[in-house]
Amino acid sequence: MMAEAKKILYVQTSGTDTPERLYSPLILAQTAKAMGQEATVYFLGLGIKNLVKGEAEKVKIGEFPTLKEVLQQTASQGIQLMACQQSLQLFGGEIKAEELIEEATIAGAATLNDLALDADAILTF
Structural domain contains residue 125: no
- The answer to whether position 124 is within a domain reads no
| Chain segment 59-97, per-residue pLDDT in tens | 999 999 999 999 999 999 999 999 999 999 988 888 999
pLDDT of residue 112: 97
| Distances 60 to 35, 103, 109 between C-alpha atoms, Å | 26, 19, 30
Give the torsion sign (CA, 111, 117, 122, 125).
Answer: positive
In a domain, 122, yes or no: no
Is residue 23 in some structural domain? yes
Q: Is residue 93 part of a domain?
A: yes
Q: Which whole number is the average pLDDT over 31-53?
A: 97
pLDDT at 92: 81
Average pLDDT of the chain?
Answer: 95
Reported as a pLDDT band with limits 50, 70 and 90, residue 2 is low
Judge whether 74 and 30 are in contact, CB under 8 Å. Answer: yes
Q: What is the pLDDT of residue 93?
A: 81
Residue 74 belongs to some domain of the structure:
yes
- Please compute the mean of the pLDDT values over residues 92-113 and round it to a whole number: 94
Q: The CATH number of the domain where 24 resides is what? A: 3.40.1260.10
User: What is the pLDDT, as a whole number, of residue 4?
Assistant: 87
pTM: 0.94
